[in-house]
Amino acid sequence: MSFLGLPEGLAERIVQCNSTYTVRFGVRLRGRMYSFIGWRSVHSEHCEPVKGGIRFAPDADAEEVEALAALMTLKCALVDVPFGGSKGALKIDPREWTPQELERITRRFTQELTKRGLIGPGLNVPAPDLGTSEREMAWMADEFRRANPTDVINVRACVTGKPLSKGGIAGRTEATGRGAQFAIQSYLRDARTPGIVGGRRDLKGASVIVQGFGNVGYHAAKFLSEEDGARITVVAERDGYVANPEGLAIEALKQHQLRTGSILGFDGATSFAGDMTGLEQPCDILIPAAMENAIHVENADRIKAHLVVEAANGPVTFQADQMLRSRGVTILPDLYVNAGGVVVSYFEWVKNLTHIPFGLMERRRRERRNHTIATALERMTGQPFPADIRDEFLEGGAEIDLVRSGLEDVMLSTWSRIADLLEEQPDLGDYRTAAYVASIRQIAGAYEAIGI
């Protein structure tokens, strides 16, 4: 807090969670009553509604939920989306229940949240998190609609991360992985950064290790390899890792995982069953995209990456962060890297409130304008417009294109904000501290503006 110069008492106010609600409820399943416990924490209401995911996890607890709610406040402030921070969890192992049972449990949880004003388009907007997906969000939105039958105009905006058929937005599923790609690109394009090995600023041929092959890790690996030409040399999971120094075929690996339940045994790689050292292999870029504390004091000295990109929440412990930076390893912080999800959630929330898909009002006009430009160029040069780019140039932009464009703009402008602050105040020392300072200053400004 020494870098912030906040008025007395304001730092304490920002740190504390405003409220944490514990809900306990029963659901009759399998011929008996089962009891469940869940939490919804609201960290800060300096900006409303509040926003944050709901996770289903057997080891969830109130303390974790409060910490994640605080992280959401900081993340929303950093990327400048108009939400306060919130988080929720249900203490449950989804693998132990059938889809039909999970639906009943999720709907009962939603009822408890609704009764307490902990879900709603202008109050508190959940999203998917660990153990949940667009399926659970569709159930929650439908249950909220049932509880509010006289006010259905904006009901779809009560949650984000929904299926497209239920008011979702194109690009939401890939958003966090796509945001990680844009974060790396923003870093490499900035001439003030050291880049990767030898000052390189091109991802083509760069070696990348991805730890965690869920939604975030898969999409980050897919985009970096297919669009940027990076080599994904290792993918690590909880049961071991697979490696190929020439680069893994990410889509084929994902299909193998979906088919078999594991990345191990993939034909296009060497498998190392039970080996947890995948993230310790040599590489240019390491992307921890799984659980918290993946890099800790016991393994930090064995990390051989030049750039660590935190796609998961809190994958590097405080001590490990210090150890890595003392060796010259650059770390792009989670507060920035995995903000893509909340940015695109904001786009979905706006779409639900305006009831107009992105691009609907201007797509055809853009297509006609682009066609006019292409025709004019052909007449001026006497040459046909290049066939290999003609279709892309004439395209007016589908919703997915506009979502990706908006996300790239947010990630690039946020990076500039972090890097500019570090350049102005080099005593901040690293990108993580700069990101936190930028975020907290924004929150403090919001509190001061409303007289707190």
Residues with catalytic function: 87
List the structure tokens of 49: 């509604």
| Contact indicator for 225, 268 with CB cutoff of 8 Å | no
Q: Residue 94: is the preceding peptide bond cis (ω within 30°)?
A: no
Rounded Cα distance between 346 and 340, Å, is 10
Residue at token pair 């005593």: 427
Of 204, 222, 264, 271, which is closest to residue 243 (Cα–Cα)?
Answer: 271
Gap between the Cα atoms of 298 and 295, Å rounded: 8
For 173, half-sphere exposure in the C-beta direction (CA atoms, 13 angstrom radius) is 13
Rounded distance, CA 380 to CA 374, Å? 10
* Core vs surface per residue 63-79: b (16+ CB within 10 A) or e: ebbbbbbbbbbbbbbbb
State the burial class of residue 81 (Cβ atoms within 10 Å of its Cβ: 0-12, 13-18, 19+).
buried
HSE at residue 159, side-chain half, CA atoms within 13 A, is 32
Structure token digits, residue 341: 């999800």
CA dist., res. 225 & res. 184, Å (int): 13
Q: Which backbone phi and psi does 232 adopt, to 5 degrees? A: -85, 100
Region at 31 (left for phi over 0; alpha for psi -120 to 50; beta for the rest): left
The tally of CA atoms less than 13 A away on the side-chain side of residue 148 is: 21
Q: Please give the sequence-ordered ranges of beta strands (E in DSSP) within 301-364, or none if there are none.
A: 307-309, 330-332
Which of 181, 247, 250 has the alpha carbon at shortest distance from 213?
250
And the tokens for 233? 């040399």
Residue 23 belongs to what H/E stretch? strand 19-29
3-state secondary structure of 314: coil
Q: What is the widest separation between alpha-carbon atoms in the chain?
A: 79
Q: How far is CA 98 from CA 139, 156, 400, in A?
A: 15, 26, 32
Q: What angle is formed at CA 93 by the lines to CA 90 and CA 163, rounded to 5 degrees?
A: 70
Please answer whether residues 53 and 75 qualify as being in contact, where contact means their C-beta atoms are separated by less than 8 angstroms.
no
